[in-house]
Structure 1
Amino acid sequence: MYWNFADADACRDWGRRLAQVVDMPAVIYLHGELGAGKTTLAQALLQALGVTPPIKSPTYTLIERYVTRIGTALHLDLYRLREAEELEFIGIRDHLAEPALWLIEWPERGRGFLPPADLSLTLTILPQGDHQVRWRALHARAERWTERLGLPAASLGVGGADG
C-alpha cells in the first residue's frame, strides 16, 4: 500500500496515525533516501506517544531512548555506521533484552545485529517533489495495525523477508 504526502506536515500526520495503532513490542524499519521523511515520521510517532522533550535525530549518537505512554522506545539512525558490528559497541545486546518500540532508520546497515522487523516503511521522494510511504507488514502484529487503520491487508505485501 502506498500513500503520497505533499509536505512534512502530512508526513507528521501519518506518523501520528501510526502511533494510534502500534503496540509493544514492535520493530519498525524506516527505509529511504536522505530527506525522504524517515526522521520526521519517527519524531511525529514518538510525540504522539507522549514524548515531550525535544526528539533529536540519532544521526551522531546512533541511538536515542525515550519513555512513551506504551513503554520504552528506541530510535536508531544507522546512516553513519560503517560496519554492522559497530552496534556491539553501543550495547545493542542490552537493548535487545527489553521489550521496546524500535524505530530504525537505515536498517540495512545493521543487518545481522538488529531484531527482525514487524513493519517495513519505505519513504521515497517522487519526481514531482511529493513524498510517498510504502507499508509492508512482516509480522502478524503489523497486520493487526493494518486492520486497525482500516487498510486492505491484501494490498500491503504482507509477509516475506526484508533487509
Structure 2
Amino acid sequence: MNIQSITLDLKDEQATVSLGNKLSTLITPPLTLYLSGDLGAGKTTFSRGLIQSLGHDGAVKSPTYTLVEPYEIAGIDVFHFDLYRLYDPEELEFMGIRDYFTERSLCIVEWPDRGHGLLPQADIHIYIKYVNTGRQIELQAFSTKGEEILACLNNNDNKQ
C-alpha cells in the first residue's frame, strides 16, 4: 500500500517536536525533506525534534542568516537549510548546493520555493499551517522512499 499524503492535527509545540521524533525513527539517508509554511508555523520546531531525536545534544537553531547548519550524527550528514533570506536561487550555486545532497545526507530545507530549479526533488514535502491555536501538517511523498516512510508513519499512528 503506497501512501501519497498524510494530514495530521498537532495541538501544540510539543506535538510538532514529537512528530519530528517519530519521523527520525523511520528515515535513512539519502533523504530530502522540504518544509513549507508561514513564518512561525513550526518548521524549525519540527526540525529540532527530528535532529535532536537523531542524536544531536545541542540547540537547533534556524540557519536563517547562514543558509545551512551542518550536523554529523551517527554517520549521517544532516544539513538544515533555511532559504528564507535567499534573494536569488543562483546564490545556491555559489555555495556548492549540489555537494550537500549525497548518499549519506539528510537534507532538511525550509522555504524550498526560494531555491526553485536548483534543489533536487524532495522525498517528502511537509506543509505546516496554523489552525486556531494548533497546527495542521500535511506530508506528501514524492518518491518511493517517501511513500514507504509515510506508510510506516501512518501505521504507527493507527496503532496508538
Q: Residues 62 and 124 (structure 1 numbering): CA distance in 2 closer, same or farther, change over 3 Å?
A: same
Question: TM-score normalised to the size of structure 1?
Answer: 0.87
2:114 to 77, 85, 109: 109
1:29 aligns with 2:30: no
Aligned residues: 151
Segment drifting more, 104-113 vs 139-148:
139-148
CA offset at residue 91 of structure 1? 2.0
CA offset at residue 143 of structure 1? 1.2
Q: Residues 52 and 122 (structure 1 numbering): CA distance in 2 closer, same or farther, change over 3 Å?
A: same
**Structure 2 CA distance for aligned equivalents of residues 70 and 137 of structure 1:** 25
1:44 aligns with 2:49: yes
Match of 2:3 in 1: none
1:91 aligns with 2:96: yes
Runs (4+) of structure 1 moved beyond 6 Å?
A: none
Structure 2: gaps spanning 5 or more residues: 1-5
1:8 aligns with 2:5: no
1:64-90 Cα deviation digits (max 9, x unpaired):
110123510100000000110111222
Question: What fraction of aligned residue pairs are identical, expressed as a percent?
Answer: 39
1:72-124 Cα deviation digits (max 9, x unpaired):
01000000001101112222132235531010000000011111100000000
Match of 1:120 in 2: 125
1:133 to 133, 137, 142: 137
Match of 1:58 in 2: 63
* One-letter amino acid of the counterpart of residue 129, structure 1: T
Match of 1:155 in 2: none
Structure 1: gaps spanning 5 or more residues: 153-163
Question: TM-score normalised to the size of structure 2?
Answer: 0.89
* One-letter amino acid of the counterpart of residue 34, structure 1: L
**Aligned-residue RMSD, C-alpha:** 1.6
Q: Residues 121 and 70 (structure 1 numbering): CA distance in 2 closer, same or farther, change over 3 Å?
A: farther
CA offset at residue 2 of structure 1? 1.1
Structure showing greater relative contact order (alpha-carbon pairs closer than 8 Å, 6 or more residues apart):
2
Alignment check: 8 A CA contact 1:23 1:70 kept: no
